[in-house]
Structure 1
Amino acid sequence: MKNIEDLIELIMGDTKLKELSDKIYKDEPILKRASQLVQDVIPKQDTPPKLMEMRRMVYLPEAQWKSREWLFYKQGNFMAGYEDSCTDFVPFEKYSPTYSDMTLPQQRTYFGWRTMVRKGEYPDISLSYIFIYCYEMINLIGVQKRIDAYSNMKMILEHYGELQPKLKTYIEKWLFDMVIYYDLDISLLECSENIIFDKALMTLKSPAEHSEEELFSAMNTLSSYNAERSTFYKTCPEDFAAVAAGSYLELNAYYAAHRQNSLFYKFFGNISTTTHSMFAMSVFCHHRVTKHTVYEIDKVRRYVFSNGLWYCEEYSGKPHSKKKLGDLLRAVDSMMRTKLGFKKSLQCPDITKQMQKVISEQIDKLTERKKREEAAKVEIDLSKLGSIRRAAAITRDKLIVEEEYDDEPTSQPEPTVTAEEEHDDAVQNSTPLNDGEYAFMQAILYGGDCRQAAQKTGSMPSLMADSINEKLYDAFADTVLTFDGDTPVVIEDYEEELKGMILP
């Protein structure tokens, strides 16, 4: 059957049915030669010849045994300079897509959209097309310089990242890998999450070399508890930072003296080496051999290429390190509220007696220091200077002439007190989860309806569980949710700790 009309006529009982019944069938081989398969790809009259040539590459002898990444790289380079005028876009949804996964109309859609992107236009398009373009940049397809590929990826992130959170997550990781793999300038990484994390680590590793503000900022960056969202912190940020930083310094010295290890080691351990998958979850052709073997990011992170594999040397952190640091900041918040008489209290987490003692001492030191500063403060009321001058002038005149003058009465302006609007207490959701995921976990932990919680976000329990496991992996180094049949349940070992993070 050559076309759909033949099939319809056959079903409707056309006379061709008899012709087919009279046909004598002979044995034919199940497997066909590549040349025979190519003949099955019948182009339309307006199909660009170059596009058809790319489609035929699927049937090359090499393509039968080499990887899909190799085929993508070969097809991509063949089509690197191709432009298409197609603007009638058709949808395309495919996980980890390649050129070969697309139909002919979809391929024309992709190359038409890519032509527009190269001209600085970024129209709406299916996410899978955007991923293919990112794979091209990762493989340096269609660019003259490595930095051009990096810049093109940044433009895609700028125009599509906010509308496509999944795309944004992947692109940010791939941009980081591009700097390392292609030996680009390290300054490109200044705003990346890894660099921000590393700077905070280096601050906590050498706390005595930094100010209270720098130390507190580093603690808050690495903590599971965001103290800057606390109502109490907003009323006295400098005092809060002083107590938090002072507590960390004292505890760090205590552990160094009594435990032979610093507080930093207790929280983050030593540098460890792990394998690093370059451009993970992308279509990347690894046949290219990198020219450099070591890329040092900073004092606490570097990447090494050896025996065909990349390794990352970093402080990966002990399990639950962020939560332990978060408990310290939350305890500072709670104890300062109690000792300073703040109107809204906050439940104190379970910390060691030594930590409680150190935090309490730091609060007392702050209180004493503020009392001394208040006592030593000399106030000069500038508003009285005018009346003092006038009184002195009158006295001077009385000494010169024997006339009496009444002093002009002086009035003092009434002080105005502006009351700041009280905000709600510290947001309880200080976890990496969004509000919907937080409510989903509350339902599981405290006997609620987790399916209803998932429906409110327009999602399914299985998808919510996957997202939660991924976001909490850094804190637990393990999945925290599993399934009993089709019901999500918390792994028993982590139940109490999760209840400490997720309140009812």
Structure 2
Amino acid sequence: MGQDSVDIRELIARLNANERLRQSSHFSTGVYRDEPIVRTGRQMANYLPDRYREMRRISRWQERSGEARGRWLSEAELFYRQARFMEDFEDDCPYHGRFASYYPTYNDMSDRQLRGYFTWRAAVRRGEVRETSLSFACIYLYELLNGIGWKDPADGFAKIREFWRAYRAFDTGIDRNARVWLHDFAIYHALDPELLADDPVRKLDLELIGIARAFEPYDPPLRSWLSAANSNAAEEPEPAGTPGAQTRRRNNAPALPLPPDVASEQRMFDAIAAHAGYRVDHSRLYAEHPDDFRHVLCTVFVRMLTYYRKNRSHGLVESSFGEEAEMGYTMFGSAVFFEEHPHADADYELDPIHRYRCRGGLWTCQRIYGGQGRSKSWGEIARAVDGRLRQALGFEPTLTDAACPKYLAKIIDREIDAWLTWKRDHAPRVIDIDLSKLSGIRTAAAETREALLVDEEREDEGAGDQPEPLRTERADEPRAQTVLAGAAPRAACGTAREAHRPSPSEAVQTEQVAPAFSGEKEDVGRQLDLEGPLGSSGTGHEQFGAAVAPAVSLAEDELAYLRALLCGEMPVVPAGASEDLLVDGINEKLFDLLGDTAIEFGAEGPCLIDDYRDDVRELMQP
């Protein structure tokens, strides 16, 4: 093109911008859409570029070189060859009409529609996804499935997913096929299964694995139902309190351990709540009595696991969600897809219970085939538990329409009764203290104490802190009135006394002054009659011994026991005798002398109270 040549696009832009031309009589009538007044040849509707003519020349009849007869191409193969030919082509002629067809291909389009599609595809590849006919969107996905328009499988997966998510804003009808095709694309090209983390099929598989792991400790046959998923769980020890096998559980044994294992029950409850037709987690009873509802519901389901194994051909879980099977599988079903070369033999594991296999170009799928979503039978069981537990607890409102078979009602009632009985037997004791009655209790205690006091004790309380005059004991007075009779009892062996009690020698000196004031000289000559070391006439106690301590008579084994305690040795108990009785006898004989227990049993055995060691040692001196 010479220097004087003008760019045709620039010339058209100038003409369209010329206001004088716009106001010309040639354009003064009629209604015009928002489109250029002057078009290039490619933009004209009746113009068809040569590339389209060449594409249409690709015939379904293919001659075979060296052979007399050719063959007809399938619709999928013809689409694949034409798509390869038009892979990089772009057009600039928008189409505003509608195009609809089952299994649409290029051959189903008119020239105008064909040009409109490649114009729309050019915008999509630039990132501008616009609303158009759903058939156009399907053809674009067909191209991606057949390897048209991407550099590697990961790029192809990303393009399919991005286009699907963008176009569903215009038409959610694309979800039905695009989701399956994206799933198959990852398997066909052996991509990372984590790319399908949002795939509903994989989510259902993971939910089934969760159900199996929650109920498998109580229904061991589930290990074969989900053998791969539970291969590791089979090696783990069984949870505490769970039976090793269904056959070993007695009918009268608790279905679940008591007290409840809250963590284990919560896993089962969550599985039931996620898959039961009745929304147990929305129940008003569960909101106000969560522990009661959760435990009874889980125990009933455990019982139903046993019941189904015994009385039905399949277990409760298998009956609700299907059984594992291997069946033939068609990749990219409902799509126009062609394999130029058969797929190599391959094995692909989407998850532990969902696997694919390709042998000789034929695919099979091994998975759990059955119902999907929420289980109606599980919902009926859960609703029956809710209704009968409300009646047992007197909870309002009741579920009047929660009818169930007799065998199920019997199981539910038995588990409710067992739970409520256990709960009642192990309920914490409630102690209600009425503080307003404490003053009355103090008053009653004071009156009782006053009634038990003797006259002398009342006189002592009246005297207050004034010292009591010294006096001697009369012969007719009880021994409890002696100087040593008021010693306070000890609480533990070896602890210090709160008040000092005079030793026998101090008591004797005190009593020497008493006859001068009392005038009772007949008591001066009374002597302490002790046998053995304690029973000899002794010295220093003949004149006032009767006033200090009454007569004490100890046996030889009792004296030996006391000597051992004084020396810090382990006392020896005579054969056939009881140490408790021996100690009680010694304490009883010394009580009148000391006014308190002399020997007590501590953490290390019998011991002599420290406050009385000097008293006992002095009395045992010859």
TM-score band, normalised by shorter chain: 0.5 to 0.7
Q: Matches of 1:235 and 1:86 in 2, distance apart?
A: 67
Cα distance change on mapping 1:319 and 1:117 into 2, 3 Å: closer
Q: Matches of 1:202 and 1:58 in 2, distance apart?
A: 51
2:204·2:372 contact (CA, 8 Å) conserved in 1? no
Structure 1 equivalent of residue 58 of structure 2? 57
Q: Matches of 1:51 and 1:98 in 2, distance apart?
A: 14
**Structure 1 position 359, deviation (Å):** 3.2
Secondary structure at 2:191's aligned position in 1?
Answer: coil
**Structure 1 position 266, deviation (Å):** 4.2
Which structure has the larger Rg over C-alpha atoms?
A: 2
Cα distance change on mapping 1:124 and 1:319 into 2, 3 Å: closer
Secondary structure at 1:331's aligned position in 2?
Answer: helix
What amino acid does structure 2 have at the position aligned with 1:195? Answer: R
Secondary structure at 1:271's aligned position in 2?
Answer: strand
Secondary structure at 1:285's aligned position in 2?
Answer: coil
1:102-501 correspondence runs (5 A): 102-161=109-168, 163-206=170-213, 207=215, 208=217, 211-228=264-281, 240-256=293-309, 262-268=315-321, 270-317=323-370, 322-340=375-393, 341-345=395-399, 347-348=401-402, 350-351=404-405, 353-364=406-417, 367=420, 375=428
Percent of aligned positions with the same letter in both sequences?
30
Unpaired runs of at least 5, structure 2: 1-43, 64-69, 218-238, 240-262, 433-622
**Structure 1 position 356, deviation (Å):** 2.9
**Structure 1 position 257, deviation (Å):** 6.6
2:45·2:93 contact (CA, 8 Å) conserved in 1? no
Q: Matches of 1:165 and 1:45 in 2, distance apart?
A: 34
Q: Matches of 1:233 and 1:356 in 2, distance apart?
A: 19
2:344·2:358 contact (CA, 8 Å) conserved in 1? no
**Structure 1 position 331, deviation (Å):** 2.5
Deviation by residue 1:347-376 (Cα, 9 ceiling, x = unmatched):
22544x443333334445665677688737
2:275·2:373 contact (CA, 8 Å) conserved in 1? no
Deviation by residue 1:432-452 (Cα, 9 ceiling, x = unmatched):
xxxxxxxxxxxxxxxxxxxxx
**Structure 1 position 204, deviation (Å):** 2.7
1:182·1:290 contact (CA, 8 Å) conserved in 2? no
Q: Matches of 2:431 and 2:116 in 1, distance apart?
A: 75
**Structure 1 position 59, deviation (Å):** 5.8
Q: Matches of 1:185 and 1:163 in 2, distance apart?
A: 29
Structure 2 equivalent of residue 437 of structure 1? none
Secondary structure at 1:312's aligned position in 2?
Answer: strand
**Structure 1 position 322, deviation (Å):** 3.1
Secondary structure at 1:57's aligned position in 2?
Answer: coil
- Of 93, 96, 99, which residue of structure 1 is paired with 2:103? 96
2:297·2:385 contact (CA, 8 Å) conserved in 1? yes
Secondary structure at 2:336's aligned position in 1?
Answer: coil
Secondary structure at 1:332's aligned position in 2?
Answer: helix
Structure 2 equivalent of residue 78 of structure 1? 85
**Structure 1 position 307, deviation (Å):** 4.0
Q: Matches of 1:204 and 1:250 in 2, distance apart?
A: 16
Q: Matches of 1:205 and 1:192 in 2, distance apart?
A: 20
Secondary structure at 2:401's aligned position in 1?
Answer: coil
2:89·2:118 contact (CA, 8 Å) conserved in 1? yes
Q: Matches of 2:287 and 2:192 in 1, distance apart?
A: 38
Cα distance change on mapping 1:114 and 1:262 into 2, 3 Å: same
Q: Matches of 1:277 and 1:177 in 2, distance apart?
A: 9
Deviation by residue 1:435-489 (Cα, 9 ceiling, x = unmatched):
xxxxxxxxxxxxxxxxxxxxxxxxxxxxxxxxxxxxxxxxxxxxxxxxxxxxxxx
1:183·1:292 contact (CA, 8 Å) conserved in 2? no
1:89·1:106 contact (CA, 8 Å) conserved in 2? no
Cα distance change on mapping 1:126 and 1:320 into 2, 3 Å: closer
- Greater RCO, CA 8 A, separation 6+: 1
Q: Matches of 1:180 and 1:267 in 2, distance apart?
A: 28
2:104·2:138 contact (CA, 8 Å) conserved in 1? yes
**Structure 1 position 248, deviation (Å):** 2.2
Give the CA RMSD over aligned residues.
Answer: 3.6
Deviation by residue 1:45-80 (Cα, 9 ceiling, x = unmatched):
743322222222246536971111001111111111
What amino acid does structure 2 have at the position aligned with 1:218? Answer: A
2:95·2:117 contact (CA, 8 Å) conserved in 1? no
1:200·1:219 contact (CA, 8 Å) conserved in 2? no
Cα distance change on mapping 1:46 and 1:224 into 2, 3 Å: same
What amino acid does structure 2 have at the position aligned with 1:48? Answer: P
What amino acid does structure 1 have at the position aligned with 2:48? Answer: T
Unpaired runs of at least 5, structure 1: 1-42, 380-504
Higher helix share: 1
Which shifted more, 354-363 or 107-116? Answer: 354-363
Deviation by residue 1:309-357 (Cα, 9 ceiling, x = unmatched):
2212122138999332332233333334443423152522544x44333
What amino acid does structure 1 have at the position aligned with 2:54? Answer: E
Cα distance change on mapping 1:343 and 1:103 into 2, 3 Å: same
Structure 2 equivalent of residue 497 of structure 1? none
What amino acid does structure 1 have at the position aligned with 2:73? Answer: K
What amino acid does structure 2 have at the position aligned with 1:201? Answer: L
1:83·1:112 contact (CA, 8 Å) conserved in 2? yes
Q: Matches of 1:274 and 1:88 in 2, distance apart?
A: 44
Q: Matches of 1:377 and 1:202 in 2, distance apart?
A: 45
Number of residues paired by the alignment?
336
With the length of structure 1 as denominator, give the TM-score of the two structures: 0.58
1:90·1:105 contact (CA, 8 Å) conserved in 2? no
1:1-20 correspondence runs (5 A): none
Q: Matches of 2:169 and 2:418 in 1, distance apart?
A: 46
1:84·1:115 contact (CA, 8 Å) conserved in 2? yes
Structure 1 equivalent of residue 520 of structure 2? none
Deviation by residue 1:348-406 (Cα, 9 ceiling, x = unmatched):
2544x443333334445665677688737999xxxxxxxxxxxxxxxxxxxxxxxxxxx
Cα distance change on mapping 1:178 and 1:213 into 2, 3 Å: farther
